[in-house]
Structure formats: C-alpha cells, structure tokens
Amino acid sequence: MRSYGGGIYGIDAHYESEGMAAIYLLVSEGRAAIIETAHNASLPHLLTALKGLGVKRENIDYICVTHVHLDHAGGAGSYMREFPQAKLVVHPRGARHMVSPAKLVEGVKAVYGEAETERIYGEIIPVAEERVIAPEDGR
C-alpha cells in the first residue's frame, strides 16, 4: 500500500503482475470510498489494506469505477457483496454492464477465450440496479 497523503492510498491489485493495476482508497474521518475494483482476486489485497488502516467494512460508502473494462471494474460485483451498504458509482453508459454483465463478459471472451477470461477475472457478478448511481454530466 502506498500513501499519497491527505487520506489517499493506492493498493496494488496484483493484476497479472505487481504494479500493473491499482485500487485507490479515499479515507476521511473513518469513512471511505474505493476507486476501481480491478479483478475479483484483488479483493483480499484491499481487505488487508483496510484492516491496516483501521477502516471498518461498514464504513465503505462508495465504490467507483472509471470505466467498465474488466481490469478496472471486473471485481465490482464481488466488492459490492463484501460491502453491502456501499453504492456503485459508474458512468451512465457503463451502468447497464454492471447490472447485466453478460455482453461485457462475452466481448472479453471473444478476445481472450473462455479459459483465459475465467483465469484472469473469475465470475463476473452482477450488481443490483438499486445500488448503482449513474450520474449524468454536470451533476
């Protein structure tokens, strides 16, 4: 884990190799937001970081993904299960893929193949629509 100061932390996602992808954590007054989820296998690394910082799981308010490529958002469903009070913040065009990820997963399988997609990303878990915030431009 790397501290950038001001309650901002970077956690290595261990995506294919060290240093290739990161999860960011914003912490203020014991509450936190997660930026990016990488892939499902990144979750234990985040949990270790949270424990080290003394941030309680129930104090994760938001999980934000910058876009829905699986190296950035593939773990979103797993994270949402782990933090049941959190809301997922995603671009309006990506929200439908987080709620129903089948088309997204099929596109990745078309590039990497089924076995490699499973190896890298595991099961892509849908996010309940009522937990998704898809802010429009300017809001």
Q: Is the pLDDT of residue 139 over 70?
A: no
The number of beta carbons lying within 10 Å of the beta carbon of residue 29 is 7
pLDDT mean over 41-51:
95
Q: The whole model's pTM is what?
A: 0.91
pLDDT attached to residue 138 = 67
Q: What is the mean pLDDT of the chain?
A: 93
139 versus 100: the higher-pLDDT residue is 100
Q: How many residues does the chain have?
A: 139
pLDDT mean over 7-11:
96
Confidence band of 101 (pLDDT split at 50, 70, 90):
very high
The Cα-based distances of 123 to 23, 27, 120 in angstroms read: 19, 29, 10
User: What is the C-alpha to C-alpha distance for residues 103 and 126, in angstroms, rounded to an integer?
Assistant: 12
Contact 88, 134 (CB under 8 A): no
The residue type of 71 is D
User: What is the C-alpha to C-alpha distance for residues 2 and 129, in angstroms, rounded to an integer?
Assistant: 33
Confidence band of 70 (pLDDT split at 50, 70, 90):
confident
* Buried-state track 65-82, b at ≥16 Cβ within 10 A, e below 16: beebebbbbbbbbbbbeb
pLDDT mean over 19-36:
93
pLDDT tens track for 113-134:
999 999 999 999 999 999 999 9
Domain 2-133 coded CATH 3.60.15.10: yes
- Residue 10 main-chain phi, psi, to 5 deg: -115, 135
